[in-house]
Amino acid sequence: MDAEARARWLGERFPDGIPPQWWNAVLGLVETEVGPLRGLPRAESAEQLAFAAVLLAQAPALGGISRCEAAARRVRLAAIACRYRPPLEGLPPELTPDGSARRLLDALPLSRPQARAAARLRRHRLDSGEDRYHVPGEPITPGRGAPGTLTPLQETERAVGDLRWVVDAIEDPEVRAEAAAWLAQHD
């Protein structure tokens, strides 16, 4: 099925947009099925990983998953692929440690200085009582997202943590240094 037919098929099944839970279910299934300990033939694992990469290329445009989340999922899939010895052949470039990390770094909604500033502001607001974590049953105040939405800082922090699974396997020194700098800031 080509990309256009897949988008049409998904649109027919989810006329109001694809829910994030669907992406989590499908991609989570791939993540659990393709690991080397599952015993699938190597070619089948490579095919499933490649199909997941195709889905992730379309996912942000189809809805329910952001560009950053799609990139973080690629990093997780690349980390799984790295567990194979010898390495799987024929994987798309975006599922290599370098390719997945590069895509993730490009998809982060905040730069490192912006993330630092936003984290400081969040900490100040929490410490001063100006902001606090939401208490169930209380109304959501203006400026707070609806349940299930992430702020750019939350999305950045959530995605950056996945880099730890591939940083040691990144070959490009610039990409590796950038990933390591994000992880140092994240910790």
Q: How many CB atoms lie within 10 A of CB 30?
A: 20
Residue 141 falls inside a structural domain: no
pLDDT of residue 132: 65
| 66 domain residue, yes or no | yes
Closest CA to 1 of 39, 40, 58: 58
Reported pTM: 0.86
50 within some domain: yes
User: Which whole number is the average pLDDT over 55-59?
Assistant: 92
Q: Is pLDDT of 174 > 60? A: yes
- What's the number of domains the chain is made of? 1
Binning pLDDT at 50, 70 and 90, where does residue 122 land?
confident
Q: Is residue 173 part of a domain?
A: yes
34, part of any domain: yes
Report if residue 144 sits inside a domain: no
Q: Write out pLDDT tens, residues 3-42.
A: 889 889 998 999 888 999 999 999 999 999 998 888 899 9
Look up residue 23 and give its amino acid.
Answer: W
- Quote the mean pLDDT of the chain: 89
Instruction: Tell whether 110 is covered by a domain.
Output: yes
Domain around 89 = 3-136+152-186
